[in-house]
Amino acid sequence: MTGHNCKRLTTIDDEDLATMKISTFFTRFFTWWNGQTFGTQVWTSLYGELVGEDEFGNRYYRTKGGKIDPTLGFERRWVIYNGYAEASMIPPAWHGWIHHTVDVPPTEEMVVPRPWWKPHRPNLTGTPAAHRPTGSTLAQGRRPKATGDYKAWIPGR
């Protein structure tokens, strides 16, 4: 957990709950985008096994023993993000495993980086650094004049 002086929870017990700040408790209870919720924590401790961790601190799990989920027809795989849940934070090698593209996780097999793999760039949507295409109301400068293929709507006509 980032920004808090509590220890990382891996199982629920009285000592963990006693040391947790009330704001941390509510954040973990009601939000999924700030790491794992209590439900995910309980599910993971009961049914999951740790497969590995990536360079960003994200932890990857699967059903214990690689058990096949009868509903899905394959094993369940999930990630618990280190901090804010952003799917673009999954590196290419782990992306292939989490999406069942490859069967063997990067912890069990040497992964050769492909030439088209690029270093991670954060998702900048909603920030001042987000892409602003020409014509966007948020772009710098003035919008280019409309061409002849556009006719403005006039109320009452």
Give residue-wise pLDDT tens across range 120-140: 888 888 888 888 887 777 777
Written in H, E and C, the secondary structure of 26-60 is HHHHHCCCCCCCHHHHHHHHHHEEEEEECCCCCEE
Residue 48 CB neighbours (<10 A):
20
Residue 153 lies in a domain: no
Residue 54 lies in a domain: yes
Distance, CA of 104 to CA of 94 (rounded, Å): 10
Q: Which domain holds residue 56?
A: 1-134
pLDDT score of 5: 38
Distance, CA of 17 to CA of 37 (rounded, Å): 14
Residue 140 lies in a domain: no
pLDDT digit string (tens) for the chain, length 157 residues = 344 333 344 444 444 555 567 777 777 667 666 667 777 888 888 989 999 999 999 999 999 988 888 888 889 999 998 888 888 888 888 999 999 999 999 999 888 888 988 888 888 888 888 888 877 777 776 666 667 777 788 898 7
pTM of the predicted protein model: 0.64
From start to end of the chain, where are the E strands?
A: 48-53, 59-63, 77-80
How many domains, the chain?
Answer: 1
Alpha-carbon radius of gyration of the chain: 22
